[in-house]
Structure 1
Amino acid sequence: MEDLAVYGYITNTRVKFIVVVSITDGIIRDADMKAIFRTIHSAYVSQVCNPFYAVDSQRAVNSKAFIRAIDAIGLRANSRSALDI
């Protein structure tokens, strides 16, 4: 557990995002985490604005499009942190 860092973000509408990263890959600056959370929030807003998506506050978002967006955010963050090392 010592090689993990946990970050949290809460929106004005009380939606919570939690990101767990391995610190063995390198240090992530707070400014980078803020940008990552803004991008995650934007992907979430795009998902819930879809008129065909039923919002359920008790369940995680399981949309394939949202999962792809989160995967892309993670890949971009990994490639960016690899360049900083």
Structure 2
Amino acid sequence: MVQVSWWGRMSTSLPITDEDVAAWAATHPDLLLARRADGTTERPGAERVAAFMAAQPHFAQAMRFQYAQAHELVPATAQQVMAA
């Protein structure tokens, strides 16, 4: 489970799509790990990341922020607070 906490409000009009973000996230195995009900883990592919982004707005916003930060589209001083 991922819990995302936000202080303040962040909105952007980045020139990217969720598919771009999902494809990028899938190529960075240090970002995501899926756990099945039986306890096995796997690295989710771009399609699965995109589907989860579509279903979970907070997750989608977190992934967009990670993408934007990695591509220097947001100021270095911007921070996202995440708790496990």
- TM-score by shorter chain over 0.5: no
TM-score by length of 2: 0.31
Higher helix proportion (structure 1 or 2) = 1
The structure with higher relative contact order (CA 8 Å, sep 6+) is 2
